[in-house]
Structure 1
Amino acid sequence: MTIHRPGRPEDLPEASLLWARWAALAAVTWDAEEEKETFRRGYWLGDSAGADGCALHYDDSSCSRWVLVRADGGRAVLFGQDDSSKVGRYEPAIDLLAGAPGWVRREVRDDLLHQGRIECVYWFEDGSWHRAPYPDDLSDDGLDCGMSHLSSSDHAVEAICALFEFDYEYEGAVEACELFVEHAERGTATPEVVRAFADELVRVHAEYELSPPWIPIARSEADIAAMTALVRRR
């Protein structure tokens, strides 16, 4: 799936698929020690401003930071900021919540908007994504650089493979990532599925002596339970 610059609502996958792929990345990088940290990087399930209290977060600790909140009735809000965006420097200022219903406004923090830490807001309602109108000459809202790796199943698999430096040279590695994303999207990730995937990560890492950004570790039963709950959360 191609994401335009600036993004268009139809560029994004259905909200439940976006959530599933995001949760898959959060699950494969889950770390009990990281859960205790206030300042995070990568992918994780954390707080939201709304009543539900939970959202998926992504922060590459460099130039891109995003939040996906699920709301009642299959609704969702995606907001964030990527350094590629031209929204924050556009004059006159763009009202990113123009046309947004009240429930969206409750999820997007005013202080972050005013600080320029949110330059992109999309909301999912009645089966489709929406956003505020943009000026015709706005060149980028950051959606492409920020969310393209979650725009399709293949891209999500590539993102997981990149974390562990997997490619088809390493027998079974890419296929394991493909199967895990498939289970995440279908909602069929059981503890057995998660255990098999986690063990495969460790096997490939040890067999090929890789040094990826994320080092696979042997998982305890408590780890597997937490990872399964995360990837199955809807």
Structure 2
Amino acid sequence: MTIQRPGLPEDLPDPAVLWARWALVAVVEATTEAEESTRYRTGTWIDDQGLHLDDCGCTWWTFADLGNGRYVLYGEDESSDCKWHEPPVDLLAGGPDWLPYEELRDRLAGNELGCVYWYENGVWARAPYPEGLKDDGLDCGMSRFVERDKAHSLLDDYVGYGRPARELLMDHAERRRLTPELLAEHVSSLEGGAPDLPAMTRALRRAGLDAQV
């Protein structure tokens, strides 16, 4: 699947697929309880507000499951032209009333928001863009999860048994059948040693990728 520039709603996969791939990376990157409570984090993680990505540089994203089949995806990549466009692009135009407007408006006020997509009734949507807008950052930000091969590569540092192991974990994640036992068997720490299995298990349950949920 290819993401256009600027992105189109139909470029995004089913939110359950996007969630599973993103959450799997958050699970294998899961760390200690002390670091989980850190206010400012980088990398990929999950908390009560949803899935997050922050490379401590040019891109940050949040993906939240708001229940009843509703999702919101928002963030910024430096490639986005939205906040520099004249006149300004209203990224919330046409948005449903259930979006997290307080957070989104706060981000807009801080000039931190590159695009917003929402999902309801089986379809993705976003605000209309002006003709000639070149990019909203969706491709650079989300292709890592939308394109399966790129999603595989995000597991390289943690899954040391090659592509079959990565494929196995991703298949189980997408089917909501991932288990702590599978993680313990196939995932290692960045240093090559044993991973923090309790942290991975907490992230796994929080993400809803395990068969017990």
Question: Normalized against structure 2, the TM-score is what?
Answer: 0.90
> Is the counterpart of residue 41 in structure 1 residue 42 in structure 2?
yes
State the Cα deviation string for residues 31-51 of structure 1 (Å, max 9, x = none): 0142132110011113xxxxx
Tell me the C-alpha RMSD between the 2 structures. Answer: 2.0
Cα deviation, residue 95, structure 1: 0.5
> Is the counterpart of residue 178 in structure 1 residue 167 in structure 2?
yes
Alignment of 1:54-203 (within 5 A): 54-106=49-101, 108-161=103-156, 164=157, 172-198=161-187, 201=188
For this pair of structures, how many residues does the alignment match?
209
- Contact preservation (8 Å) 2:7, 2:136: yes
SS of the equivalent of 1:13 reads: coil
Distance in 2 (CA, whole Å) between partners of 1:83 and 1:221 is: 34
Q: Percent identity?
A: 41
Distance in 1 (CA, whole Å) between partners of 2:41 and 2:106 is: 20
Give the match for residue 9 of structure 1. Answer: 9
Cα deviation, residue 119, structure 1: 1.4
Q: Which runs of 5+ in 2 are unaligned?
A: none
State the Cα deviation string for residues 22-66 of structure 1 (Å, max 9, x = none): 1101001110142132110011113xxxxxx52111001110000
Q: Which runs of 5+ in 1 are unaligned?
A: 47-52, 203-213
Q: Give 2:195's match in structure 1, choosing from 201, 219, 227.
A: 219
User: Do the aligned partners of residues 107 and 187 (structure 1) sit closer, same or farther apart at CA in structure 2, a change above 3 Å counting?
Assistant: farther
Moved over 3 A (4+): 105-108, 214-217
- Contact preservation (8 Å) 2:28, 2:158: no
Give the match for residue 205 of structure 2. Answer: 229
- Contact preservation (8 Å) 1:184, 1:232: no
- Contact preservation (8 Å) 1:27, 1:230: no
SS of the equivalent of 2:82 reads: coil
Distance in 2 (CA, whole Å) between partners of 1:149 and 1:84 is: 15
- Contact preservation (8 Å) 1:6, 1:138: yes
State the Cα deviation string for residues 203-234 of structure 1 (Å, max 9, x = none): xxxxxxxxxxx434413552343243144358
Cα deviation, residue 104, structure 1: 1.3
SS of the equivalent of 1:102 reads: coil
Question: Normalized against structure 1, the TM-score is what?
Answer: 0.82
| Structure with a larger share of its residues in helix | 1
SS of the equivalent of 1:137 reads: coil
Distance in 1 (CA, whole Å) between partners of 2:174 and 2:43 is: 20
